[in-house]
Amino acid sequence: MNAPKRFLRLPAVIERVGKSRTAIYRDIQGGTFPAPLRIGARSVAWDSDAIAEWQQKQINAAGQGNTQSNDTRA
């Protein structure tokens, strides 16, 4: 049996990803951050798996852009 999904409310998302509320919603509009799911008439939450996938993509992208050594010793 599959484990139940874990939903994250906005304060938890902000804490996990280190972005402000404004930056999160701007990136959602830009298509670069997972959109929240409606879980009630006046509430939304994020799927924790979607946030974890987004974090891994950011880590992978940062690794791809770091092709030069940071060692500046001669």
Model pLDDT for residues 24-40, shown as the tens digit of each residue: 999 999 999 999 999 99
* Residue 71 backbone dihedrals phi, psi, to 5 degrees: -80, 110
Range of the domain at 50: 7-56
Question: Side chain identity at 57, as an amino acid letter?
Answer: K
Reduced to 3 states (helix: H, G, I; strand: E, B; else coil), residue 35 is: coil
* Total tally of structural domains belonging to the chain: 1
Question: Does the residue 72 lie in any domain?
Answer: no
Measured between alpha carbons, how far is 63 from 22 in angstroms, rounded to an integer? 26
What is the rounded average pLDDT for all residues in the chain? 90
pTM of the model: 0.80
Question: Does the residue 17 lie in any domain?
Answer: yes
E strand spans, 1-74:
7-8, 37-40, 43-47
Measured between alpha carbons, how far is 43 from 8 in angstroms, rounded to an integer? 11
Residue 70 has pLDDT above 60, yes or no: no
